């Protein structure tokens, strides 16, 4: 398993200081698209020689039609940096001419499943890299649908083979906001489906938890993380995200080390040591 951090230009010095302790860098691809000539040269000079993975926010894989301009621009970026994988969200950011800027939940039914399958095939034909999809946190309570979120993820994996980016923090936030059991949710997801994990800090506003990426990973999230690394057999990457309050970025670096330490201890005891 490889442990990494989300690449943010605001904290290049802090990341550089710890780069020997980091296995992988996750780049927010959208930040560098549509102005490649200028932005890519800056990124090339700043990036350390580490394995790279891409994370996207505006693929909108749940839309009825993918944005081909977006896909071809992403392909250009992929060809330059050769990421191991590309990820986005199990959601939608575009509807007709509207762009939400954030992944919104989809209807978990057979029709949506077919849309995802078709779009995943189109993505892989154009991009030529494995796509993995992330569970989202939602400010809206899920509607009663044909499938639950976890059941939809399982069916999506079985139908398309697409792997899952399991966001531990998103799972915890949804479980508290909408009152469900994380372990029951996890038990519905195929053990071979999860390839990457996200960890981040959130906060509470007006009685609701939010995935704000603003602070250290909460202790309750670490409890779920321990469950996840025990349950799923194919996890390859663990990435800590941070998108604000960069003056405390050391918290996120420490969370990378903590994630690694927890896994090493788990392996130690799993081998029968005490």
Domain ranges of the chain: 2-270
pLDDT in tens, 171-199: 999 999 889 999 999 999 999 999 999 99
pLDDT in tens, 247-259: 889 999 999 999 9
Q: What percent of the chain has pLDDT over 70?
A: 92
Residue 149, judged by CB atoms within 10 A of its CB (0-12, 13-18, 19+), counts as buried
Between CA 271 and CA 180 the distance in angstroms is 32
Mean pLDDT of the chain: 90
pLDDT in tens, 124-174: 999 999 999 999 998 777 667 899 999 999 999 999 999 999 999 999 999
Neighbouring-strand partners of residue 99? 94
CA torsion 12-235-54-69 (nearest 10°) is -160
Question: Looking at residue 265, what is its pLDDT?
Answer: 81
DSSP 49: S
Determine the average pLDDT of the residues in 228-234: 94
Question: Looking at residue 94, what is its pLDDT?
Answer: 83
CB-based contact 165:198 (threshold 8 Å):
yes
The pTM for the full model equals 0.92
CB-based contact 91:121 (threshold 8 Å):
no
Determine the average pLDDT of the residues in 73-86: 96
Residue with tokens 């050391």: 250
Spell out the residues 6+ positions from residue 206 whose beta carbon is closer than 8 angstroms to its own.
none
CA torsion 144-171-232-188 (nearest 10°) is -10
Q: Report which secondary-structure segment, H or E, holds 95.
A: strand 92-95
Say yes or no: domain 2-270 is CATH 3.20.20.150. yes
**pLDDT of 270 higher than 70:** no
Confidence of residue 81 (pLDDT cuts 50, 70, 90): very high
Confidence of residue 273 (pLDDT cuts 50, 70, 90): low
pLDDT in tens, 44-72: 888 888 999 999 999 999 999 999 999 99
**pLDDT of 23 higher than 60:** yes
Task: Count CB-CB contacts under 10 A for residue 75.
Answer: 16
């Amino acid at each position: 398993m490889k442990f990494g951090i989300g690449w943010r230009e605001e904290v290049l010095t802090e990341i550089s200081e710890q780069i020997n302790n980091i296995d992988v860098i996750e780049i927010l691809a959208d930040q560098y698209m549509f102005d490649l000539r200028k932005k890519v040269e800056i990124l090339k000079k700043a990036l350390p020689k580490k394995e790279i993975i891409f994370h996207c926010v505006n693929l909108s894989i749940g839309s009825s039609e993918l944005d081909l301009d977006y896909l071809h621009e992403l392909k250009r970026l992929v060809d330059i940096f050769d990421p191991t994988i590309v990820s986005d969200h199990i959601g939608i950011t575009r509807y007709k001419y509207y762009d939400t800027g954030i992944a919104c939940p989809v209807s978990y039914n057979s029709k949506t499943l077919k849309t995802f399958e078709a779009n995943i095939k189109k993505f892989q034909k154009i991009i030529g890299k494995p796509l993995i999809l992330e569970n989202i946190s939602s400010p809206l309570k899920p509607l009663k649908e044909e499938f639950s979120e976890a059941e939809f993820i399982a069916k999506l994996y079985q139908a398309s083979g697409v792997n899952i980016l399991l966001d531990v923090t998103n799972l915890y936030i949804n479980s508290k906001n909408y009152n469900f059991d994380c372990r029951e949710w996890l038990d519905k997801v195929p053990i071979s489906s999860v390839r990457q994990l996200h960890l981040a800090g959130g906060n509470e506003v007006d009685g609701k938890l939010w995935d704000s990426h603003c602070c250290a990973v909460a202790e309750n999230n670490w409890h779920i993380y321990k469950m996840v690394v025990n349950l799923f057999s194919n996890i390859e990457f663990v990435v800590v995200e941070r998108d604000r309050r960069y003056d405390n970025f050391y918290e996120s670096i420490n969370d990378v080390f903590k994630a690694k330490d927890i896994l090493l201890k788990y392996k130690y005891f799993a081998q029968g040591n005490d």
